[in-house]
Amino acid sequence: MRDFKKSSYQRKKVTPNKVKIQRKPINLKKYLRPLGMLAGGLAAVAVAAGVIYGGYRAVQSTTFFSLKTIEVSKTKRLTREDILGLAGVEPGKDLLRMNLKNMGEHILQNPWVETVRINRYFPNGISIVITEREPLAIVNMGYIYYLDKKGSVFKVLNQGDKLDFPVITGFSEEDLASDPKGTRAALETTCQLLKILREKGAFILADVSEIHYDKGYGFTMFTASGAVPVKIGSGDFAAKIERFARIYRNLIAQSRTIQYIDLDYNDKIIVKKS
């Protein structure tokens, strides 16, 4: 083993290296350049979006399918102008933007309208088909209403409305509000009775001036001649009317002496004289 103590080699103290570091100024351009490119890109995107939006608005304002033809079905009571006014439609409107459902709902607000169907026909037309209600009778419920063939009370009579219909009494607005189902069923039964009276020969609807409904009993008719009460009850109307029609002409000649006529039997007619 080598003896380092006897060696002539002298270790020298090594002076540590001192390197002087010079700080260079930060090159801001190096960092700002990407930010500038990003801002420029965002500006370009914003410009492009503005161009696209402006084009979209321009397309929106352009009417490719302009309404020219409006077909309206024939009606008895509503004029073409009435219907178009209710629908809020006129030539020149954009066919694509027209809300047919809303148009139909506005037309249905008129009490004479029972059903409405609106169709769109490209490139430039629509059709409006309306079914009107037909009055069958007049219902006195405090206010006087028209009654249609389905048993619906649909319109308050105004000045100028026709009055040459049978008058139905015994119903009220309170009944319709408190018992809508039962009242509606009774009104539908009234329509059945009116239909039978219209179809029969000797005793016809024109011979009836009033039909009164009583919830506990049923129906009583009043003749146009002499206002004689004719009790008919609540069912089997066809058979009762048919029996009554056979003797009606003979009985009506004695109307001044008749107090009432009762048809509410299966095989006979009761004539009560005063």
Phi, psi angle pair for 32, to nearest 5°: -75, -25
Same domain, 150 and 122: no
Task: Give a yes or no: residue 162 inside a domain.
Answer: yes
Domain boundary among 132, 152, 181: 132
Same domain, 154 and 187: yes
Residues of the chain with pLDDT under 70: 1-63, 200-203
Could you give the count of Cα atoms lying within 13 Å of 246 in the half-sphere of its Cβ? 8
Task: Give a yes or no: residue 246 inside a domain.
Answer: yes
Task: Give a yes or no: residue 115 inside a domain.
Answer: yes
Same domain, 101 and 126: yes
Q: What is the CATH number of the domain that holds 166?
A: 3.40.50.11690
Q: What percent of the chain has pLDDT over 70?
A: 76
Same domain, 249 and 164: yes
Q: Determine the pLDDT at residue 126.
A: 96
Q: How far is it, in rounded angstroms, from Cα 59 to Cα 73? A: 34
Q: Determine the pLDDT at residue 63.
A: 58
Same domain, 110 and 141: no
What would the DSSP string read from start to end of 103-153?
Answer: HHHHHTTSTTEEEEEEEEETTTEEEEEEEE--EEEEEEESEEEEEETTS-E
Same domain, 212 and 163: yes
Same domain, 166 and 264: yes
Domain boundary among 132, 157, 184: 132
Same domain, 147 and 115: no
Q: How far is it, in rounded angstroms, from Cα 273 to Cα 239? A: 23
Q: Determine the pLDDT at residue 48.
A: 63
Sheet bearing 258-262, strands edge to edge:
153-156, 143-148, 135-141, 167-169, 208-214, 218-223, 229-233, 258-262, 270-273
Specify the number of domains making up the chain.
2
Same domain, 155 and 214: yes
Can you tell me whether residue 246 is helix, strand or coil?
A: helix
Task: Give a yes or no: residue 21 inside a domain.
Answer: no
Domain boundary among 89, 117, 132: 132
Q: How far is it, in rounded angstroms, from Cα 114 to Cα 152? A: 10
Same domain, 156 and 269: yes
Q: Determine the pLDDT at residue 137.
A: 94
Q: Determine the pLDDT at residue 35.
A: 54
Q: Determine the pLDDT at residue 136.
A: 93
Q: What is the CATH number of the domain that holds 90?
A: 3.10.20.310
Q: Determine the pLDDT at residue 255.
A: 78
- The answer to whether residues 225 and 217 touch, using CB atoms and an 8 Å cutoff, is no
For residue 208, the enclosing domain spans: 135-273
Q: Determine the pLDDT at residue 179.
A: 94
Same domain, 165 and 125: no
